[in-house]
Amino acid sequence: METKTIRVDLIARVEGEGALDLRIEDGRVSSARLNIFEPPRLFEALLRGRGYEEAPDITARICGICPIAYQMSAVHAMEDALGLQVGDPWRALRRLIYCGEWIESHALHIVMLHAPDFLGYADAIQMARDYPEIVQTGLTLKRTGNEIMRVLGGREIHPINVKIGGFYRVPTKAELAPLADALKRAQDAAIKILRWASGFPFPDFERDYEFVALRHASEYAFNEGRIVSSRGMEIAIADYDSEFEERHAAHSTALQSVVKRRGSYLVGPMARYSLNFDRLPTAVQALAREAGLGSTCRNPFKSILVRGVEVVYACQEALRLIEAYEPPGRPAIPVTPNAGVGHGCTEAPRGICYHRYEINRDGIILNARIVPPTSQNQLSIEEDLREVASRHIDAAEDKLRDLCEQTIRNYDPCISCSAHFLKLTVHRV
Amino acid sequence: MNASPRPRLAVWKFASCDGCQLSLLDCEDELLTLASALHIANFPEASSAIEQGPFDLSLVEGSITTADDAQRIRRVRQQSRHLISIGACATAGGIQALRNFADVNDFIAAVYASPQYIKTLATSTPISAHVSVDYELHGCPISKVQLLEVISAFLAGRKPAIASHSVCVECKQRGTTCIMVAQGTPCLGPVTHAGCGAICPSFNRGCYGCYGPMETPNTAALARQWKTLGATAGELRRVFRSFNAGSEAFQKESDAHGD
């Protein structure tokens, strides 16, 4: 009997902190648990007693990398509670600011956090010594995403302009024009990075996930649509609780979501892409195929390519939205509070982000529920880890540890959303 | 390890959203220059090359909400020649400091089905409540321009040139007409620390105080002005009790407005 323990005190290049506990008994992986020690900040509790109009700004603070996801889910849920329909051009502007977040967040993950895994660097700064042009291109791309957030939202982290009913101030056409020039260059940069990443060595690894994403009648979904899955689920956003439940495991401060009666599922770029390939423009589909992707992607290591495709799409979509934009006569639809319950679900860069609020007639929040993407992916990450570790059970400890870390980074996990500290422990008994 | 003559930088995270340390990665144009002026020895969000201390400069994001973190910040301080806390969480406890005004067990029960699994302190407190801090950079989130200034000042061995006046001065600097005077929009600008560049008023929105109190703010006078504009006691309590609820000036003013 052999007993070995590997420890990684902190899994790097993820947002937030957690630990992995891997147990190997008699040459078999007997358990793989992702421990999230992110100190709970108790958002759903601190939202009680706050005003309905504060939800977008407060929930943005759940995640500094994807604040727009929280603002969008909150604003749509509140408008649902208030019986408010907010159409174009506000709808288009919300799509545009979301494009900015996808570009910024995906570019950060592809170039700064994920690519170093495939090429054997500790970080993008080391990688920049050998690939200076690519790292610069990635940073330029990221800056363009951030510029959209700045122009529309006032700043890139915790933007200030999202309001129930619309915006505090809407941009003029002239204010959006410089973005279009930057986006044309960004689109070329995104294609270059996608082609570069398509040459990475990808492990031959696929799993039969239940993909869950939003699906819209005609668009690649950001803010609206029905929640669909690769195993036949198709529900309205308001029916989220009928199909999903959250479980609280002793080893994690993040709640784990499951599909009722089935179990783990996967949200994020691979799910979105595989369920909505037909919603991508033909030119983007062609680039995806050129990068070696089919219409479905079940290899989590190739999620870097799917993110690459989504960045190209987000640049194109942002350009289309800017070209079609006509400013509204007023920045927002006036709102008067009423008692109600509202649901919102939008596509964060890492997958669907669900909010539900109950407010009273004065617009004070009575109850809040927030399901971030990473808590939904937690079980899938654990299953991937179990499978990856099983296939490389005899690998040297360093190699096994690197593979496990990469398996986690495939998800671009945002652990600060979920609830610090990814410590990898391998027990070999 | 000590072969590098460049100062050694470490970035640490406590209870937070990652947004303030992301400000470093958001320095798209300056990041590679920064990496040549400093040796990034410990920045787990960006690099898996994590080195041991001691460090010349530690940037600390987040508030202290667990007993383990209260110990961990002491170890960070012991390894750091200079320690700078960045952001509203690290300087005032953050939005999660709203628990300080409630029963934390009620809060936990509202979120978790099995509260017994959750170990957290009754309060969320700033870094300065636990260890000595060499400089506090305010904001939710911090400004990356100010962050670069603080790092540059540290590299040059001088005091950071960070203004301590209110957001009002920044509105004047950018030529924004006062929205409280001209439109009657309630605004926290007169009592809020400058640094953001007065973004909200330029978007026709009142400042909501995310940079925390300026030096010697007259919050009581501003609260009276808000009342004449129609603000209720509940609104006043909430507005002073948000991302910098744990700062002394905002906490005192929020306590003055009961239901």
Cross-chain Cβ contact A155/B29 below 8 Å: no
User: Is B245 among the domain residues?
Assistant: yes
Same domain, B134 and B237: no
Q: Write out pLDDT tens, residues B49-81.
A: 788 989 999 999 999 999 999 999 999 999 999
pTM: 0.94
Per-residue confidence (pLDDT) for residue B47, from 0 to 100: 78
Q: Which of A132-141, A245-254, A304-313 has the lowest mean pLDDT?
A: A245-254
Cross-chain Cβ contact A113/B46 below 8 Å: yes
For residue A400, name the pLDDT band (cuts at 50, 70, 90): confident
User: Is A267 among the domain residues?
Assistant: no
Nearest CA in chain A to B207: A160
Phi, psi of A411 (to 5 degrees): -90, -5
Dihedral angle sign, alpha carbons of residues A152, A157, A160, A164:
positive
Write the ipTM. 0.96
Nearest CA in chain B to A142: B28
Per-residue confidence (pLDDT) for residue A258, from 0 to 100: 92
Interatomic CA distance for residues B70 and A334, integer angstroms: 46
Q: Tell me the nearest-neighbour CA distance from B134 into chain A, angstroms.
A: 25
Residues of A within 8 A of B47 (CB-CB) are: 12-13, 122-123, 125-126
* Domain closes at, from B129, B156, B183: B156
Residues of A within 8 A of B44 (CB-CB) are: 10-13, 17
Dihedral angle sign, alpha carbons of residues A369, A370, A371, A375:
negative
Per-residue confidence (pLDDT) for residue A168, from 0 to 100: 98
Interatomic CA distance for residues A254 and A376, integer angstroms: 10
Q: Is A363 on the interface with B (CB under 8 A)?
A: no
Per-residue confidence (pLDDT) for residue A254, from 0 to 100: 65
Closest to A416 (Cβ–Cβ): which among B17, B28, B107?
B17
Q: What is the mean pLDDT of chain A?
A: 90
pLDDT of residue A331 exceeding 50: yes
User: Is A411 among the domain residues?
Assistant: yes
Same domain, A106 and A159: yes
DSSP H or E segment with residue B121: none
Interatomic CA distance for residues A108 and A15, integer angstroms: 11
Residue from A8, A11, A41 whose CB has the most chain B CBs within 10 Å, to mutate: A41
pLDDT of residue A125 exceeding 90: no
Q: What is the mean pLDDT of chain B?
A: 93
DSSP letter string, A244-270:
EEEE--TT-SS-EEEETTTB--B-SHH
Same domain, A154 and A200: yes
Percent of chain B with pLDDT over 90: 77
* Domain closes at, from A326, A349, A370: A370
Q: How far is CA A265 from the centre of its chain?
A: 14
B60 CB-contact burial (10 Å; exposed 0-12 / middle 13-18 / buried 19+): buried
Which residues of chain A from 366 to 405 reach within 8 Å of chain B, CB to CB? 405
Q: Is B51 on the interface with A (CB under 8 A)?
A: no
pLDDT of residue A247 exceeding 70: yes
Over residues B149-178, mean pLDDT: 94
Which residues of chain B from 52 to 71 reach within 8 Å of chain A, CB to CB? 65-66, 69
User: Is A139 among the domain residues?
Assistant: yes
Q: Write out pLDDT tens, residues A355-377.
A: 999 999 999 999 999 999 988 99
Q: Write out pLDDT tens, residues A48-87.
A: 999 999 999 999 999 999 999 999 999 999 999 999 999 9
A to B CB pairs, distance under 8 Å: 191
3 state SS of A316: helix
Structure token pair of residue B44: 């787990």
Per DSSP (E only), the strands in A202-339 are: 212-215, 226-229, 234-235, 244-247, 256-259
Spell out a b/e string for A255-265, using b for 16 or more CB atoms within 10 Å of the CB, else e: bbbbbeeeebb
Closest to A146 (Cβ–Cβ): which among B14, B26, B107?
B26
Q: Write out pLDDT tens, residues A253-280.
A: 667 889 999 999 999 999 999 999 999 9
Alpha-helix residue ranges (DSSP H) falling in A9-84: 43-46, 55-60, 67-81
Q: Write out pLDDT tens, residues A101-112.
A: 999 999 999 998
Helix axes B219-228, B248-255, angle to 10 degrees: 40
Q: Is A157 on the interface with B (CB under 8 A)?
A: yes
For residue A420, name the pLDDT band (cuts at 50, 70, 90): very low
Per-residue confidence (pLDDT) for residue A426, from 0 to 100: 58
Most confident among A4-8, A120-124, A139-143, A393-397 (mean pLDDT): A139-143
User: Is A239 among the domain residues?
Assistant: no
Domain membership of residue A162 as a residue range: 43-206+293-370
Q: At a CB cut-off of 8 Å and minimum separation 6, what does A82 contact?
A: A52, A164, A335, A337, A338, A340, A342
Per DSSP (E only), the strands in A170-328 are: 212-215, 226-229, 234-235, 244-247, 256-259
| Domain CATH number, residue B74 | 3.40.50.700
pLDDT of residue A139 exceeding 60: yes
Q: At a CB cut-off of 8 Å and minimum separation 6, what does B71 contact?
A: none
* Domain closes at, from B108, B124, B156: B156
Q: Is A7 on the interface with B (CB under 8 A)?
A: no
Q: Is B100 on the interface with A (CB under 8 A)?
A: no
Closest to B48 (Cβ–Cβ): which among A13, A158, A167?
A13
Half-sphere exposure of A97 (CA within 13 A, CB side): 33
Q: Tell me the nearest-neighbour CA distance from B132 into chain A, angstroms.
A: 22
The number of residues in chain B equals 259
For residue A5, name the pLDDT band (cuts at 50, 70, 90): very low
Over residues B7-35, mean pLDDT: 89
Q: Is A112 on the interface with B (CB under 8 A)?
A: yes
B74 CB-contact burial (10 Å; exposed 0-12 / middle 13-18 / buried 19+): exposed
Closest to B113 (Cβ–Cβ): which among A9, A12, A248?
A248
Residues of A within 8 A of B232 (CB-CB) are: none
User: Is A331 among the domain residues?
Assistant: yes
Cross-chain Cβ contact A41/B95 below 8 Å: yes
**Partners of residue A33 on adjacent β-strands:** A21
Q: Write out pLDDT tens, residues B93-119.
A: 999 999 999 998 888 888 887 777 778
Same domain, A303 and A393: no
Same domain, B26 and B144: yes
Same domain, A334 and A415: no
pLDDT of residue A149 exceeding 60: yes
* Domain closes at, from A329, A351, A370: A370
Residues of A within 8 A of B117 (CB-CB) are: 248-250, 253
Cross-chain Cβ contact B111/A51 below 8 Å: no
The count of domains in chain B is 2
| Domain CATH number, residue A338 | 1.10.645.10
The count of domains in chain A is 2
Helices (H) and strands (E) in chain B, counts: 12, 5
Closest to B200 (Cβ–Cβ): which among A40, A125, A160?
A160
For residue A16, name the pLDDT band (cuts at 50, 70, 90): low
Over residues A38-50, mean pLDDT: 90
Phi, psi of A175 (to 5 degrees): -70, -30
Q: Tell me the nearest-neighbour CA distance from A212 into chain B, angstroms.
A: 24
Bond before A89 cis per omega within 30 degrees: yes
Which residues of chain B from 183 to 222 reach within 8 Å of chain A, CB to CB? 196, 199-200, 202-205, 208, 210
Q: Which residue has the higher pLDDT, B241 or A121?
A: B241
Domain membership of residue B202 as a residue range: 167-255
